[in-house]
Structure 1
Amino acid sequence: MEEYLKDISDGKLYSSNDMVKVGCHDCKGCSACCCDMGESILLDPMDVWRLERNLGQSFEQLLSGAIDLHVEDGLILPNLKMAPSATGPKCSFLNEEGRCSIHGFRPGICRLFPLGRNYEGEKLSYFLLTDACPAKNKSKMKVSKWLEMDGVKDYEHFLVKWHSLTKSLRQTMQNYNEEEAKRKNMLFLQMFYFTPVQQENFYDGFYERLEQFERR
């Protein structure tokens, strides 16, 4: 494991079949991980697809409310927006009771916390962020159960492909002039976010888009 991971984790890597101490007893009203997160809750195409379907909103409508766009290493990506409140910035989807109003279809990064993802080639593993969650007496849970995602292996395969694509784009963006970077970003956003996947199986639509994008 890289040195920086050793500094923020328990020094172990976990698979989706491993047990890890993350169970926070349904948070019991704690919303610490939903507040003052800046632009860190990045949304991948599956996150947006699930939000669109469950909220009945287009990507453009989400952008006018709970989602922002920001630039990260030259690549434009969407993220959950923090809304101002009396106690400080909090997720736009956090209700007055301090509970997640989209819990059943919350983004992958939200499902993951307090775990992080570690990518090594085609392999995805997880690490536990120490001291990230203030809940006491956490219980052990299997990573796959904690994620609450059907077909975890399919989901992980998608994440690896998405990570590879965005990592490659960040690297190549550094070599583009302003006009080329703008064109590539617009194509990227159009194909993976603005144009909704119509297939009932998200992965079918995603891999079709990925193949088309990589040819252009």
Structure 2
Amino acid sequence: MSPEPEAYIDDSRRLTDDDTFVFACHPGCECFTRCCHDLSLVLMPYDILRLKRRLGLSSGEFLRRYTSVHVGQGSGLPVVTLKMEGADLRCPFLDPGSGCTVYEDRPSACRTYPLARMARRSKEMEGVEEFYFVVREPDCLGFREDRRWSVREWKENEGLGPYNAMNDAFGELLQAKTEVGVGAMDADQIEIFYLGCYDVDGFRASYLEGPSLDRYLEPPEVLEEIARDEEALLRHGMRWVKKKLFQGGCAACGAACGRGAPDDPDGVTPPGR
């Protein structure tokens, strides 16, 4: 039996906001929810925040229950993926009858599909240059529909604004790592990255309630904001990681200054658990 054809990114056409594509997905499509099976779905920091809040869980509990973590061979950074369930490897948030049960808070990759977002940044450029490619899934029948979208319309319809903004903030952190030339990191440094980017409740406990000296360097109004606003807390966590690891911190200088991070059973969940 020949293997199934694989999805691919069609890079023959680069799309910006005013460019159009044809696509629709709805329960009437024969392939509806087929794409929610047997996939490797990487979760971004904002995806985790939205999902854990939707489910009424702490970030530590959500990460333990629904995700797997590995350290990327190329990046040396922890990568969080959603764990599939059952013999058919379905998304844990898929109801076979009604579809996605977390639709309003579904991850950015699900919202963006059938597009793939590319964000390019450099020292010489302010902000992010954004463009898109179409992702071609061979068994996706949505491309046969007669609904035409502009990229701008698709982004607005799918609520991608806050996801893209937070993903760009995460991208700045990854760029800082590249610019410093940091390769492999030790376990303490990986845990710092995991804490500040993925485990927002663990970071709150460590930064605002634990014996962290870093918070005393912040103005009171900043501490008040991140105490009441989880989005602000996540942004602050990513900035904290950037400063601690890649702007004169432990990874940049080669010192293990992350030692002594809290071991909270409902907070920090070390990668590779």
Q: Do the two structures share a fold, i.e. TM-score over 0.5?
A: yes
Residue 110 (structure 1) aligns with: 110
Shift of 1:193: 1.8
**Aligned equivalents of 1:123, 1:140: Cα separation in 2:** 24
Report the CA distance between 1:51 and its aligned residue.
0.9
CA distance in 1, matches of 2:26, 2:16: 22
Amino acid at match of 2:108: G
Aligned to 1:140: 148
Check the 8 A contact 2:114/2:135 in 1, yes or no.
Answer: yes
Alignment counterpart, residue 206 of structure 1, candidates 234, 251, 256: 234
Give per-residue Cα distances to partners, 1:57-94, cap 9 Å, x unaligned.
11222233222222223211211111123xx2111111
TM-score computed with the length of structure 2 as normaliser: 0.63
> Sequence identity, in percent?
23
CA contact (8 A) 1:25 1:138 kept: no
Match of 1:189 in 2: 194
Unaligned runs of 5+ in 2: 1-7, 122-127, 202-225, 245-273
Write out the 4+ residue segments of structure 1 that deviate beyond 6 Å after TM superposition: 170-174
Which residue matches 2:20?
19
- Name the aligned partner's letter for residue 196 of structure 2: M
Q: Deviations over 1:141-179 (max 9, x none)?
A: 233443445572x54343233234236547979733xxx
**Residue in 1 that maps onto 2:133:** 127
Task: Provide the C-alpha distance between the structure 2 equivalents of 1:22 and 1:12, rounded to a whole number of angstroms.
Answer: 16
Q: 1:130 to 1:146 in 2, by over 3 A?
A: same
SS across alignment from 1:175: coil
Distance of 2:46 and 2:233 partners within structure 1 = 10
Report if aligned partners of 1:24, 1:138 keep a CA contact under 8 Å in 2: no
Change (3 A) 1:212 1:131: closer
Root-mean-square deviation over aligned CA pairs: 2.9
Checking the alignment, whether the CA contact within 8 Å between 1:124 and 1:160 is kept in structure 2 is: no
> Is the 2:173–2:239 Cα contact (8 Å) retained in structure 1?
no
Larger Rg: 2
- The change in CA–CA distance for 1:56 and 1:17 in structure 2 (over 3 A counts) is farther
Please name the residue that 1:9 is paired with.
10
SS of the residue 1:51 aligns to: helix
Change (3 A) 1:46 1:144: farther
Q: Which segments of 5 or more consecutive residues in structure 1 lack a partner in the other structure?
A: 1-6
Equivalent residues, number: 201
Cα distance, 1:172–1:100 mapped onto 2, change above 3 Å = farther
Q: Which has the higher contact order (CA 8 A, sep 6+)?
A: 1
Q: Secondary structure at the residue paired with 2:196? A: helix
Shift in CA distance, 92/201, structure 1 to aligned 2, threshold 3 Å: closer
